[in-house]
Structure 1
Amino acid sequence: MISDIVKASGADMGVVLDNDRDSVFFIDERGNPIRDQTVLSIFAKHYLKDHDEPIVSSVVSSRSLEGVSGGRLIRTSVDRVLKEVYERRAVFGGDEPGMYIFPEFQYCFDGTFAILKMLEIMAEEKMTLSQLKSDIDEYSRVEFSVDCPNELKDAVIQRLVKYFRDKEPELCDGIRVEEPSCFMLIRASRFEPALRIYIESESSEKTQNKALDIMKLIETLMGDMND
């Protein structure tokens, strides 16, 4: 509905705020929703051009954010993003879904300030939201869950760590494995008997193939544990 209104009214931008205003989702002037990871990269690029401090996001973060960070991205667990921004004195931080932290104003997730900051960036750069988006590399990305009993979550993650040990996985929240053309993240859901899977690569075909491979691997590991 918001997308249709943006197009019909000729608006420069559309936004959707959640009830407590701590997260916001952006729609460009063409009525197209902007990915959370792309918005993170737009904000990060803006702050990093004039500051030396790092930025913070979670292990879920896209390679697009790495691309604009110039090596100044600090990845942390999903539940520590806000605390890490404060402790590392980062210039900006954020995470999915649509949650952004602006230390210049306050140390909390602030959807309202994010809207104002995006308008400021558009004015300073003299660019539309779709043009800002086009400056950010985007990758094929899938996110899904695999059912896993709560009592098996940690054991499955540990077996995945052993399976991928030669790839030197990142272990601050689940296991994140980097390959030349993709990354895979498997982490335990905090609220459900499931594992959360995130896969990103340069093509949708590779992403889908990796998703199938990971699903089969997890099913095999769980099957071995149940035997």
Structure 2
Amino acid sequence: MRTRASVDAVIKAYDIRGVVGDGIDADFVRDTGAAFARLMRAEGATLVAVGHDMRDSSPELATAFAGGVAEQGLDVEMLGLTSTDELYYVSGAKDCPGAMFTASHNPAKYNGIKLCRAGARPVGQSSGLATIADDLVAGVPGFDGPAGTVTESDVLADYGAFLRSLVDLSGIRPLTVAVDAGNGMGGLTVPAVFEGLPVDIRPLYFELDGTFPNHEANPLEPANLRDLQQFVLDTGADIGLALDGDADRCFVIDEKGRPVSPSAVCAIVAERYLADRPGAAIIHNLITSRAVPEIIAENGGRAVRTRVGHSFIKATMAEENAVFGGEHSAHYYFTEFFNADSGLLAAMHVLAALGHQDSPMSEMMARYDRYAASGEINSRLENSTAQAERTEAVLEAFADRTESVDRLDGVTVSLADTPAWFNLRASNTEPLLRLNVEAPSAGEVDALVSEILAIIRA
């Protein structure tokens, strides 16, 4: 019998994730597949698509999950090696639920499951994960009917063709594009997506290797961008793209080897949508730069703010009938992609914008950088009590300078007499307290970061 504590340790706010062999194993995953199948069968599903990344543990776990699904009478389509957005494509195109085995950017010892309903609709804590957790604790009831079948398919070419149909790159000037796949799934999907397009792909770390021998597949950490920054300069590329382990996030480097903020990417994609759909709703999470809602408003759009996390963004996309959504972590969501996120689709929009004008990337993006930002800074605090105590200590220290405190997701503190703000929030996947700071100048950002970290890490 599983304990509530052991289940809650790996079932997070919007996915399932943990250390393989310590919370995540084949037995747990098989029962999770059965619990998910029960939930989806009740909603009328007959087929579940299952994909996995290149981690050593992923094939075994995906197979175990498929076994649990089939035991509950649902058929399974095994996609094999797949990016997360390729799994979402199948869920949307075939209108079936899906499960992606990946721990995204986490180190090699981790694995997990991203679940979605038919049409790539989200499964989060309040929309299914809590029910699955209850079944795992109580024991998943058996199914009296016949078992489902398990078949294999390869949809990589169809997925690539679908992305190419959404963004027209046929008329752009030729571009040299350096891509760091981080030994993740981008090494498989990038060649398929960009096949036949007027882009010269320069590959870096395209070999699939779930041990991540070159650097962690987490482009949010500046150290993991350094190889690509130098590679852009060495190859004379017009732009660099860095993908995370499951290739659903994309970070951008300009031709000078400098990172382009995900907020700036949000703004340029939002502008592209609003040029064709004036007045449309655009989603942004509360960590993106204040420049994002400003630019959305300037282009006649309606900015909608939401908390961090793909299940929350996807749900808000549907509720608001939004055409696009962006996060500070380089997740980008598209109405024509079933409200799901795709790093390569975001990259194609940026390439279209760059390729239809003559300016280099650095000049094109300069007008979107209105404020200085710290990026996400993590502090390891082993339990929620310590995280809450340090957060309250920061609030107390800034009480006399605070204009407002927003608790939509963690705490967002807007400072008085300045556009500066900061957010502190607990990670949903790791024992970390995450800090983001934005201010008019880099010096102000540095001063705020130093003061806040001194309290958090005391």
What band does the TM-score fall into relative to the shorter chain?
0.7 to 0.9
1:22-61 mapped onto 2 (5 Å cutoff): 22-51=248-277, 52-61=279-288
* Cα distance, 1:88–1:157 mapped onto 2, change above 3 Å: farther
Letter in 2 for 1:207: V
Query: 1:38·1:138 contact (CA, 8 Å) conserved in 2?
Result: no
Q: Is the 8 A contact 2:425 2:433 kept in 1?
A: yes
| 1:72 aligns to 2:307 (yes or no) | no
Displacement, 1:174? 0.8
2:342, 2:395 → 1: CA distance?
A: 35
1:18 is matched with 244
Aligned to 1:145: 378
Mapping 1:175-190, distance limit 5 Å: 175-179=411-415, 180-190=418-428
Alpha-carbon distance in 1 for matches of 2:412, 2:235? 43
Amino acid at match of 1:67: E
Is 2:434 the counterpart of 1:196?
Answer: yes
Q: CA deviation at 1:198?
A: 0.9
DSSP-derived class of the 2:326 partner: strand
Identical amino acids, percent of aligned pairs: 27
Contact preservation (8 Å) 2:403, 2:413? yes
Of structures 1 and 2, the one with the larger relative CO (CA 8 A, separation 6+) is 1
Say which one has the larger Rg.
2
- Aligned-pair Cα RMSD in Å: 2.8
1:96-150 deviation digits (Å, cap 9, x = unpaired) = 3221112133321112212221222224455432222112124222232334332
CA shift, 1:192, in A, is: 3.4
Provide the residue aligned with 1:223 in structure 2: none
Q: Residue type matched to 1:189 in 2?
A: S
Closer, same or farther: CA 12–145 of 1 in aligned 2, 3 Å: closer
Q: Matched residues in 2 for 1:161 and 1:209: separation?
A: 16
Partner Cα separation in structure 1 for residue 231 and residue 378 of structure 2: 33
- Is there any run of 5+ residues in structure 2 with no aligned partner, and where? 1-226
Decide whether the 8 Å contact of 1:170 with 1:176 is kept in 2: yes
Pairwise CA distance, 1:62: 0.9
Residue 102 (1) aligns with residue 334 (2): yes
1:84-104 per-residue CA deviation (whole Å, 9 max, x = no partner) reads 122211121121322111213
Tell me how far apart the structure 1 counterparts of residues 245 and 450 of structure 2 sit (CA, whole Å). Answer: 36
User: Residues 19 and 212 from structure 1, CA distance in 2 versus in 1: closer, same or farther, beyond 3 angstroms?
Assistant: closer
Q: What is the rounded CA distance, in whole Å, between the counterparts of 2:380 and 2:230 in structure 1?
A: 36
Aligned match of 1:174: 410
CA distance in 1 between counterparts of 2:251 and 2:336 reads: 21
Query: Which structure 1 segments of 5+ residues have no match?
Result: 221-227
Matched residue SS, 2:447: helix
Q: 1 CA distance for matches of 2:231 and 2:443?
A: 34
Q: Take 2:230 and 2:380, find their aligned partners in 1: how far apart are those partners?
A: 36
Q: Note the C-alpha offset of 1:219.
A: 6.4
Mapped to 2, the partners of 1:164 and 1:72 lie a distance apart of: 32
Question: Shift of residue 182 of structure 1?
Answer: 0.5
Q: Please tell me whether the aligned partners of residues 411 and 425 of structure 2 are also in contact (alpha carbons under 8 angstroms).
A: yes
1:43 Cα deviation (Å)? 1.3
Residues 197, 122 of structure 1: alpha-carbon distance in 2 compared, 3 angstrom cutoff: same
* Partner Cα distance (2:454, 2:257) in 1: 38
TM-score, normalised to structure 1's length?
0.81
Residue of structure 2 equivalent to 1:62: 289
Letter aligned with residue 410 of structure 2:
G
SS at match of 2:305: strand
Q: 1:88 to 1:10 in 2, by over 3 A?
A: same
| Equivalent in the alignment of 1:225 | none
Which of the residues 75, 81, 85 maps onto 2:317?
85
C-alpha displacement at 1:159, in angstroms?
6.7
Q: TM-score, normalised by structure 2?
A: 0.43
